[in-house]
Structure 1
């Protein structure tokens, strides 16, 4: 099973970094597989630690894929790292090994602490829709426009029916990113028409 999380790391100079990442874990072993290049990968290899944040604040997922990477953090106690200030729970991890594919390495990490930070108040369909929308936005250059538009139309139903203010804001950021991507794509196509290639 893959859990959609926010991984927080710090640079060797102490600068926090947040990134959405699907994480596998069983017991005390966590597997992270970032695509390179990756600030998350660089930070973990440099510092030997990370924090996996379990949050329902989907603005963080949408924000990270639309260029909004600065989120409030707090120090943690078992590794030299930080967690999101607004998270339900977090796992503090130490790096055990690095291996796998050179384009998408496997980071095997050991959980040294698991902390509950806030109560879980239930599932919300709009939150799931925002996470799926964030995945779409992160892959706009790889997916056909028709597929993106079809997925957005379906996900919009959950947004319209169940979103609160946070989910609406996150969805707006994602839709703005989609619009900007296709405007830029159209402008590039005009500059380099297919017949000229």
Structure 2
């Protein structure tokens, strides 16, 4: 396990140019929350976008920090997109809440402001490489992450375009994904279906 500090941590822990999909963990009152979050890195700028009404929004607004968990487990992205993970999925490292199976973590501080959408500049503080997870690219795994994003947008905007995207994505995941990724997609669609029936 190797610790990195400041901007050196970005490249070393895999936060590269573009939008980096991570699982953000925050903690309030001893309870850890996890949610997918895109860290946008553009040359020397680093920022995030958060939306009103989420635990992540409230926690970052209050605490002014979050931990970026770097993971290739697409199931976690799908699970945390619409639900809270049980607390047994988390541990603490250097006093910070992280996913138990994360490959690396990086603490960011930020100074968000209250509005319907937060666009906050963030700054890397410190992070740790726990293990390197080498693997071939799998279309199914990547599409589960895309499906998690589409699901959150469908739930908030109720746009048929996002639902159609989810249906198309599910067909490809069923063909290309492994059993865990297919399960992640099924659980995502079940939650959307259950929510639609409650309305």
TM-score range with shorter-chain normalisation? 0.7 to 0.9
User: What is the CA–CA distance in structure 1 between the aligned matches of 2:73 and 2:107, rounded to whole Å?
Assistant: 19
1:41 aligned to 49, 57, 74, which one? 57
2:90 aligned to 61, 70, 73, which one? 73
**1:1-197 pair list within 5 angstroms:** 1-11=18-28, 13-25=29-41, 30-70=46-86, 72-77=89-94, 80-95=95-110, 97-99=111-113, 102-120=115-133, 121-141=135-155, 142-145=157-160, 147-185=161-199
User: What CA deviation, in whole Å up to 9, does each residue of 1:63-113 have, x standing for no partner?
Assistant: 123324325122122xx4211111222211223x224x7111233222122
The structure with the larger Rg is 1
Deviation at 1:28, TM superposition (A): 8.3
Instruction: Provide the secondary structure at the position in 2 that maps to 1:52.
Output: strand
Q: Which structure has more RCO (C-alpha within 8 Å, separation ≥ 6)?
A: 2
Q: For the Cα contact (< 8 Å) 1:28–1:110, is it kept in 2?
A: no
**Can you give the 5+ residue segments of structure 2 that lack an aligned partner in the other structure?**
1-17
Question: Taking structure 1 as the reference length, what is the TM-score of the superposition?
Answer: 0.78
Instruction: Identify if the C-alpha distance between structure 1 residues 143 and 53 changes in structure 2 by more than 3 Å, giving closer, same or farther.
Output: same
Count of residues in Structure 1 that have an aligned counterpart in Structure 2 = 179
Instruction: Identify if the C-alpha distance between structure 1 residues 118 and 158 changes in structure 2 by more than 3 Å, giving closer, same or farther.
Output: farther
**Can you give the 5+ residue segments of structure 1 that lack an aligned partner in the other structure?**
186-197
Instruction: Identify if the C-alpha distance between structure 1 residues 153 and 70 changes in structure 2 by more than 3 Å, giving closer, same or farther.
Output: same
User: What is the CA–CA distance in structure 1 between the aligned matches of 2:197 and 2:125, rounded to whole Å?
Assistant: 46
RMSD of equivalent CA atoms = 2.4
